[in-house]
Structure 1
Amino acid sequence: MNQATHYQAMDDSAPSELQSIIADSVERLFAEQISPQLLAHFDAGHRATALWQQVVEQGLPGALMAEEAGGSAASWLEASPVLRAVGYWSAPLPLSETMLASLLLARAGLEVPDEPITLIQAGRLGDLTLTADGQLHGRAFNVPWARSSQWAVVADGTGHVALVDLRQATVSLEAGSNFAGEERDSLHFVNARAHAIGHLQIADVQEPVWLFGALIRACMLVGALESSLDKAVNYANERAQFGKAIGKFQAVQQQLAQMAGAIGAARMATQVALRSACDAQQAEAGARSTLAFDVAVAKICAGEAATLATSVAHQVHGAIGFTHEHTLHFTTRRLWSWRDEFGSDSQWAEVLGQAAIAAGGKGFWAGLTQRQF
């Protein structure tokens, strides 16, 4: 099933022409260029520089930006096949982060660098502060792809968005990585200065990097989940035991059915969140939206599905699934990593739980049905 068909199955309407073009182009590119050899090369410490150049040539980093800013003017729904493909193909690129960073910079009226850009939400994963005049001080942990990026978008909780040069002398870096070997570095800012600072206007969004970061991770998780399911089903149909494929055994079928059900729930929850993101970008300032609720649900469903799917996939594959030579680990290591980034499922569940408690008995049902705790 190609990506355009896949997303038509997810949605209750046919994909737009732009969504189909994006889905077909990214599917073709990643299917041709991403191989076990490329992923093993990345694991050995080599960046996928040539693949990044091809991604740039297709204009994918600017997919969410308006045309006047040099982008494709795609909506979140139209650009979502890119995020899904990053997960499905385990693309070792800072593509999702650059897409979001470019959108935030453009919406804040700032110039967008033509290279990888990382993301930091001030006050999350560290004590970094951003002042109104663009001064930064403190630490930021688990910053994605910081070593590969000269620039970072830093957002605070008051609507300020800053473009920061990470190569300035007042910024130091300590290298780190997640389970998938992707860069997750620590940065220390000592009275650093922003290259530019602007104000972001998106209705009812206080922490844009944290909230939209959770959305892009949910999309990537859905792609990786679908990849893990495809691998498990294919292996179950190929591996024979006691004279027949193990996929014919009821116990294995039940596990795969549970896995598929959890993935379906994550896919639909993410689709709802993508629709809310489209609505939030078009809403007037001060308007209430369901975006925070929907993103929380999407990240919870995707994270819980990742926990189940990795367990089932490795059980179905047996011992071979744990070997470095098999390709399953490229997917499961990313599932284990991404489920905890920009808030784990338990952290987002706590957010919803605290909001429901605060709403009280009288406000619970209204908040639940209106998705606005």
Structure 2
Amino acid sequence: MNDITQMLISSTTKIMKDICTKELVNEAEQGRWAAELWDILADSGMITVAIPEELGGNGGSYTDALSILRLAGKYSAPIPLAETFLGNWLLADLGEQVSDEPLTVALPKSDEQFYFQKHGDEWIISGKARFVPWARYAKWMIVLGQSDVEPVLALVRPANGKIEYGQNLAGEARDTITFDDVLVTDCRVIPIEFERVINQLWYGGALIRSVMMAGALERILELTLTYSSERSQFGRPIHRFQAIQHQLALLAGETAAAGAAADYAIEAYQAGRLSKEIAMAKIRINEAAGTAAAMAHQVHGAIGFTYEHTLHQSTRRLWSWRDEFGTETEWGEQLADQMMTFAQDELWSFLTSK
């Protein structure tokens, strides 16, 4: 880890501790936009990390950006930081300018495809996107679709469509956006190679969720260690009991495994590989999420389920994020399909090489 990355981690940690409080997260779940958190990150130049300066970014590496995102996951930051990173990276890869405005990304559905029809200098847009993260707060939304002649990536304003509010288990905004032959002027429609871009979207999405989950697991471990050292029963802290120590050891192991998987995936992404490392990280971290959340709540007992405690802010996000950008079953099936095409002597190198 270089000095710049360490500085970003230090600065982001301070911002999250000062601004991203339990109260702010709770208020966001009730429908308030966390403007103060977004604005300070934007003013600090952290929204456009890993984007070349000539495209409107602040430079830096994917490792820098994902270090910031890991802390956003750790502190349950109720903003579309991950989606803005992912969307801006897609735009930058296409040579397009980016900004630090809130951005979201709609996953394409085969039965609800977007269509873009040229109408002079304007576009007529039709399509529906479901479960779009933070759409009600986003200034822009990236959608993949089809124009009259070719596949396209479009940057549209959600406000130009009909927005139906929704939430995931964590209380984060997951909205439905409908465009019904809407004529718009303020959008960018960019021709793309569809398979390449959808691959970037899925692998990049799996990576951002994996990194955020690794951060949330770190927070859960910290909360559980603190609680078990402060809570006393039968005259001594409960972390002195062997049964609790066993749970804490297992929780620490799952957190460490998730962190290692995330680091491995980040290294692959930084090297330009959209491949097994990211798929394996999503599988391993999803598994850790289910196990670790159950252990943490078992150690905390009833208090961990109360609204006043912060544990649920992290565990509910784990349960929500593990289903986004591919479950462990879906990524496992993809890896299995890939391995079924190998020659007899290729499996070992696939498992052990980078």
TM-score with structure 2 length normalisation?
0.89
| 1:156 Cα deviation from its structure 2 partner | 6.1
| 1:330 Cα deviation from its structure 2 partner | 1.1
For residues 67 and 89 of structure 2, the distance between their equivalents in structure 1, rounded to whole angstroms, comes to 16
Aligned pair partner of 2:127 in 138, 160, 170: 138
Q: Could you say what secondary structure the match of 1:207 adopts?
A: helix
Aligned pair partner of 1:154 in 99, 124, 143: 143
* Paired letter, 2:163: L
Residues 228-274 of structure 1: per-residue CA shift (max 9 Å, x gap): 00001111111111121111111111111111112211111111111
Contact 1:132 1:160 in 2 (8 A): no
Q: Could you say what secondary structure the match of 1:187 adopts?
A: strand
For residues 68 and 117 of structure 2, the distance between their equivalents in structure 1, rounded to whole angstroms, comes to 34
* Paired letter, 1:105: L
| 1:317 Cα deviation from its structure 2 partner | 0.3
Contact 2:105 2:132 in 1 (8 A): yes
Contact 2:117 2:125 in 1 (8 A): no
Find the counterpart in structure 1 of residue 226 from structure 2.
Answer: 234
Contact 2:50 2:59 in 1 (8 A): yes
| 1:206 Cα deviation from its structure 2 partner | 4.3
Find the counterpart in structure 2 of residue 263 from structure 1.
Answer: 255
Map 1:1-373 onto structure 2 (within 5 A). 15-123=1-109, 127-129=112-114, 137-155=126-144, 160-168=152-160, 171-191=161-181, 195-198=187-190, 206-280=198-272, 289=273, 291-359=274-342, 361-370=344-353
For residues 282 and 200 of structure 2, the distance between their equivalents in structure 1, rounded to whole angstroms, comes to 15
* Paired letter, 1:151: W
| 1:82 Cα deviation from its structure 2 partner | 0.9
The number of aligned residues is 345
For residues 180 and 202 of structure 2, the distance between their equivalents in structure 1, rounded to whole angstroms, comes to 23
For residues 25 and 202 of structure 1, the distance between their equivalents in structure 2, rounded to whole angstroms, comes to 38
Residues 310-349 of structure 1: per-residue CA shift (max 9 Å, x gap): 1011000001111111111111111111111111122211
Unaligned runs of 5+ in 1: 1-14, 281-288
Residues 120-161 of structure 1: per-residue CA shift (max 9 Å, x gap): 23237x632456978754322211000111311124699843
* Paired letter, 1:102: N
In the superposition, relative to structure 1, how do residues 167 and 360 fare at CA in structure 2: closer, same or farther (>3 Å)?
same
In the superposition, relative to structure 1, how do residues 114 and 233 fare at CA in structure 2: closer, same or farther (>3 Å)?
closer
For residues 59 and 194 of structure 2, the distance between their equivalents in structure 1, rounded to whole angstroms, comes to 16
For residues 369 and 137 of structure 1, the distance between their equivalents in structure 2, rounded to whole angstroms, comes to 46
Q: Could you say what secondary structure the match of 1:109 adopts?
A: coil
Contact 1:225 1:263 in 2 (8 A): yes
State the superposition RMSD in angstroms. 2.5
| 1:50 Cα deviation from its structure 2 partner | 1.6
For residues 156 and 333 of structure 2, the distance between their equivalents in structure 1, rounded to whole angstroms, comes to 32
Contact 1:217 1:338 in 2 (8 A): yes
Unaligned runs of 5+ in 2: none
Contact 2:55 2:96 in 1 (8 A): no
In the superposition, relative to structure 1, how do residues 132 and 296 fare at CA in structure 2: closer, same or farther (>3 Å)?
farther
* Paired letter, 2:143: V
For residues 211 and 89 of structure 2, the distance between their equivalents in structure 1, rounded to whole angstroms, comes to 17
For residues 174 and 312 of structure 1, the distance between their equivalents in structure 2, rounded to whole angstroms, comes to 36
Contact 1:88 1:224 in 2 (8 A): yes
| 1:186 Cα deviation from its structure 2 partner | 1.5
Contact 2:165 2:176 in 1 (8 A): yes
Moved more, 215-224 or 353-362: 353-362
In the superposition, relative to structure 1, how do residues 179 and 34 fare at CA in structure 2: closer, same or farther (>3 Å)?
same
* Paired letter, 1:356: M
TM-score with structure 1 length normalisation?
0.85
| 1:204 Cα deviation from its structure 2 partner | 6.6
Q: Could you say what secondary structure the match of 2:33 adopts?
A: coil
For residues 118 and 355 of structure 1, the distance between their equivalents in structure 2, rounded to whole angstroms, comes to 30
| 1:201 Cα deviation from its structure 2 partner | 8.4
Q: Could you say what secondary structure the match of 2:129 adopts?
A: strand
Find the counterpart in structure 2 of residue 3 from structure 1.
Answer: none
| 1:113 Cα deviation from its structure 2 partner | 4.0
* Paired letter, 1:93: I
| 1:191 Cα deviation from its structure 2 partner | 4.3
* Paired letter, 1:178: N
* Paired letter, 1:88: K
| 1:294 Cα deviation from its structure 2 partner | 0.9
Contact 2:114 2:143 in 1 (8 A): no
Contact 1:96 1:216 in 2 (8 A): yes
